Each structure stands twice: as structure tokens, then as C-alpha cells.
């Protein structure tokens, strides 16, 4: 089998965050090899149009809305998730732990290294 066939990671994407005339633009390209220019031109066209509308204002200066407080995480002992059946994940980030596998619970603070 070739490298291409054995790869199980999802395809990568590229996200670009930018500002145009005070409007924030978030461009996500599913295919990193795709040409970003048509996307950018479409964003600029949309913003130019919005910019011509009355009462439309960029939120450039506005603070981000406050995030609602999160519910406290349950203690590991009270967690409804069966930690033994959690999917095994692999560290993708560059660093000392790259390639190690672990289980982590999304509902509580449970975390366990496998390798
Ligand atoms: Zn848990």
C-alpha cells in the first residue's frame, strides 16, 4: 500500500482571518491547494455591497460578546461517560508528546495517557 492509501487523517483545510473596511472576513478553504483569490474577491464584493447599505456598520471597535458562563464540569466520579470506551486520540501537535496516544473525556477533566 502506498502512503496515500494508508493515511486516515481528515483532509486539511486553511482558515484565513482578515479585516476589510472594518468587517472581519473568515475564509476557509477545504482544499489547501485551491486558489484563494476567487474566495477573497467574493468576500470583498460582498463587503463593498454591505458598505453601500445604510445602517450597516462594521463591528470593528466592538468588544466580542461575553461568553456565557460554562456549567461546572462534573467530578470524574460523577461523570456519565464511560471512560473505558472513550476513543483513543493521538497527539498531533509538535512537541515532546507528539505521537503519544491518550483518552480524554469531553464532559469532565478525565485524561489518561495510553502510550
Ligand atoms: Zn468524564
Q: Other C-beta atoms within 10 Å of 55: how many? A: 4
Where b means 16+ CB within 10 Å and e means fewer, 91-115 reads eeeeeeeeeeeebebeebebeeeee
Is residue 88 within 8 A of residue 102, CB to CB? The reply is yes
Distance (Å, whole) CA 2 – CA 8: 12
pLDDT band, residue 64 (cuts 50/70/90): low
Helix spans in 1-115 (H): 3-6, 37-51
- With a pLDDT cut of 70, the percent of the chain lying above it is 79
Task: Select the more confidently predicted residue: 11 or 55.
Answer: 55
Is residue 66 over pLDDT 60?
A: yes
Rounded to the nearest angstrom, the distance between the alpha carbon of 74 and the centre of ligand 1 is: 8
Task: Select the more confidently predicted residue: 20 or 62.
Answer: 20
Phi, psi of 111 (to 5 degrees): -150, 130
The burial class, CB within 10 Å (0-12 / 13-18 / 19+), for 20 is middle
CA angle 102–31–92, rounded 5-degree value: 15
Rounded to the nearest angstrom, the distance between the alpha carbon of 90 and the centre of ligand 1 is: 18
Taking a 5 Å cut-off on Cβ, the residues next to ion ligand 1 are 79, 81, 105, 107-108, 110
Amino acid at each position: 500500500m502506498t502512503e496515500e492509501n494508508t493515511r486516515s487523517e481528515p483532509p486539511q483545510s486553511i482558515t484565513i482571518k482578515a479585516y476589510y473596511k472594518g468587517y472581519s472576513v473568515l475564509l476557509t478553504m477545504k482544499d489547501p491547494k485551491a486558489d484563494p483569490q476567487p474566495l477573497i474577491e467574493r468576500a470583498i464584493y460582498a463587503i463593498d455591497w454591505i458598505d453601500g447599505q445604510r445602517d450597516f456598520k462594521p463591528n470593528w471597535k466592538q468588544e466580542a460578546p461575553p461568553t456565557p458562563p460554562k456549567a461546572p464540569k462534573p467530578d470524574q466520579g460523577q461523570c456519565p461517560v464511560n471512560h473505558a470506551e472513550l476513543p483513543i486520540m493521538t497527539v498531533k501537535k509538535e512537541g515532546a508528546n507528539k505521537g503519544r496516544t491518550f483518552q480524554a473525556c469531553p464532559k469532565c477533566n478525565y485524561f489518561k495517557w495510553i502510550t
